[in-house]
């Protein structure tokens, strides 16, 4: 534009610059295009795979990699990747359609509960009781999520909590990013320090041919120290925001986030919880407790969890005496609020689809195998840590990457004089860190979409913490291998 006013000629504000950053949809689709381009550059290759009874899956056989006929991915494949990503079960991952449907059901469930006014009124009551002690919610909540992460790999299940905790964090003076951090970092550090996590420690140990109890002491130390570091980091940021909202990394979104997450708050500020609302909140809390029990003890996954929240939504509608039309409208409106989250999950999975169909996943793994062979024990364990981190950017599933990489990389540790349990620990700590930022990971892109936190601002917040956790992990691994 040539006819600029003096005001228009001024340098762009930070908010304007940030707004120019592409959306998550554009970033993920661009990554699909990049991976498709790599199928024309990198040689296609595959390992032979054999049934592994311990894993219950086919696993790569070390030393069997060979170049195969190229499977170049073209324009049509790029366009099909997000679609296929919804229902393609690749590299040990669950179908994205299951996760997306769970998100929509959760949205409907929350829409119904919100329509009763129970949550908004409950938040006001919590704020009154926590007056002056708000900051202690952070370590308690992060401890609970870390417990879920270390015991059963709590990840996709956390998507149900963001819409609940973010309004509470905003209401007590923090920001949306704080709410996202409490949940994602809390569960993430639990996965990083997995102890009995069947999707990380158990599968990786089985793939490495060792009992999962080996190396438990070191993992407990990493878990405790990592949790302490994360709590201090998140609490410092949260208190800085509470004292000066301009310090928030999403300060320019403050008004819109408050309008979105604290809708109808004024109407509930002086409201008293009715008997029905109290019963609804009991049902609400019980549904999450049942979800955790079902996943940990009964082997539930997305279908069962979706059915649970659908059932509770119906019960809440009956208890609240909403009527059929208000109930269905509230459910559909709630699901609509999370539709973008459901779509972005399938889009993220499309990246892995292109890699697998283009037969470059094994090629990339083989390249790392050659890179770390022949190193000293300390260099090897740290190189293995870095290798798993880079691979997890492409294969964000803990169980999927364990099945893919451990049968190849764990035997190499024998030649480097590194115990296999340290190879497993290097795997789980590395993927625990990178899965705090991986754009191909449904939990990351889904949580940021729910929390209305732009990806680049999350990166700005999380990278110093990731560096600290990486240094902790590498120092722990190096000390263990030298003892």
What is residue 252's predicted lDDT score, i.e. its pLDDT? Answer: 92
What is residue 136's predicted lDDT score, i.e. its pLDDT? Answer: 87
Whether residue 24 contacts residue 343, with contact meaning beta carbons closer than 8 Å, is answered with no
- Could you tell me the pTM of the whole model? 0.73
Rounded Cα gap, residues 423 and 286, in angstroms: 39
Alpha helices, DSSP H, located in 193-274: 203-208, 216-243, 254-261, 265-268
Angstrom distances, CA of residue 172 to CA of 164, 176, 240: 13, 11, 13
* CA-closest candidate to residue 453, choices 461, 442, 463, 464: 461
Tell me the sheet residues that pair with 45.
Answer: 67
pLDDT along the chain (483 residues), means of 10: 37 41 75 92 89 68 87 93 75 64 85 81 68 82 88 79 87 93 94 83 81 89 97 96 94 90 61 81 85 79 87 92 89 85 76 86 83 85 92 78 80 84 94 90 88 93 97 96 87
Residue written as token pair 């003892």: 483
What is residue 92's predicted lDDT score, i.e. its pLDDT? Answer: 47
Whether residue 207 contacts residue 398, with contact meaning beta carbons closer than 8 Å, is answered with no
What is residue 54's predicted lDDT score, i.e. its pLDDT? Answer: 58
Rounded Cα gap, residues 49 and 64, in angstroms: 9
Rounded Cα gap, residues 24 and 28, in angstroms: 6
Task: Give phi and psi for 389, each to the nearest 5.
Answer: -65, -45
What is residue 347's predicted lDDT score, i.e. its pLDDT? Answer: 78
Query: Structural domain boundaries of the chain?
Result: 24-38+75-482
What is residue 56's predicted lDDT score, i.e. its pLDDT? Answer: 63
What is residue 154's predicted lDDT score, i.e. its pLDDT? Answer: 79
What is residue 10's predicted lDDT score, i.e. its pLDDT? Answer: 35
pLDDT digits (tens, 9 = 90+) for 19-70: 455 676 787 788 889 989 999 999 999 888 887 665 566 778 878 889 999 9
Whether residue 306 contacts residue 102, with contact meaning beta carbons closer than 8 Å, is answered with yes
What is residue 428's predicted lDDT score, i.e. its pLDDT? Answer: 94
């Amino acid at each position: 534009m040539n006819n600029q006013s003096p005001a228009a000629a001024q340098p762009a504000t930070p908010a304007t610059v940030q707004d120019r950053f592409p959306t998550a949809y554009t970033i993920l689709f661009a990554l699909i295009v990049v991976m498709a381009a790599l199928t024309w550059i990198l040689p296609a290759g595959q390992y032979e795979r054999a049934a592994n009874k311990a894993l219950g899956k086919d696993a790569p056989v070390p030393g069997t990699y060979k170049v195969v006929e190229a499977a170049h991915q073209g324009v049509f494949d790029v366009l099909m990747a997000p679609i296929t990503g919804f229902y393609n079960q690749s590299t040990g991952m669950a179908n994205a359609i299951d996760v997306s449907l769970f998100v929509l059901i959760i949205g409907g469930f929350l829409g119904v509960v919100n329509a009763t006014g129970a949550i908004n009124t409950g938040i006001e009551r919590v704020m009154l009781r926590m007056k002056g002690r708000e900051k202690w919610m952070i370590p308690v909540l992060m401890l609970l999520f870390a417990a879920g992460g270390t015991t059963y790999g709590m990840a996709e299940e956390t998507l149900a909590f963001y819409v609940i905790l973010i309004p509470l964090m905003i209401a007590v003076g923090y920001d949306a990013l704080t709410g996202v951090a409490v949940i994602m970092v809390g569960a993430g550090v639990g996965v990083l320090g997995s102890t009995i996590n069947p999707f990380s420690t158990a599968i990786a140990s089985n793939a490495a041919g060792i009992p999962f109890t080996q190396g438990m002491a070191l993992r407990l130390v990493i878990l405790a120290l990592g949790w302490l570091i994360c709590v201090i980091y998140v609490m410092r940021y949260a208190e800085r925001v509470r004292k000066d909202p301009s310090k928030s990394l999403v300060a320019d979104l403050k008004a819109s986030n408050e309008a979105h997450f604290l809708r109808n708050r004024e109407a509930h500020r002086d409201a008293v919880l009715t008997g029905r609302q109290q019963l609804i909140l009991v049902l609400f809390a019980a549904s999450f407790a049942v979800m955790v029990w079902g996943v940990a003890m009964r082997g539930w996954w997305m279908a069962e969890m979706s059915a649970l929240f659908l059932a509770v939504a119906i019960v809440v509608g009956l208890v609240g005496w909403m009527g059929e039309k208000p109930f269905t409208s509230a459910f559909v409106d709630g699901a609509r609020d999370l539709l973008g989250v459901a779509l972005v999950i399938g889009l993220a999975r499309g990246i892995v689809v292109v890699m697998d169909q283009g037969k470059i996943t094994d090629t990339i793994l083989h390249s790392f195998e050659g890179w770390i062979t022949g190193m000293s024990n300390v260099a090897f364990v740290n190189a293995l840590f870095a290798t798993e981190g880079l691979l997890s950017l492409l294969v964000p599933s803990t169980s999927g990457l364990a099945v893919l990489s451990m049968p190849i990389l764990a035997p190499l540790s024998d030649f480097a004089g590194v115990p296999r349990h340290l190879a497993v620990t290097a795997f789980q700590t590395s993927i625990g860190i990178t899965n705090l930022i991986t754009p191909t990971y449904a939990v990351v892109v889904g949580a940021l979409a729910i929390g209305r936190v732009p990806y680049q601002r999350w990166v700005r917040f999380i990278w110093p913490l990731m560096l600290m956790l990486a240094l902790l992990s590498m120092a722990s691994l190096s000390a263990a291998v030298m003892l």
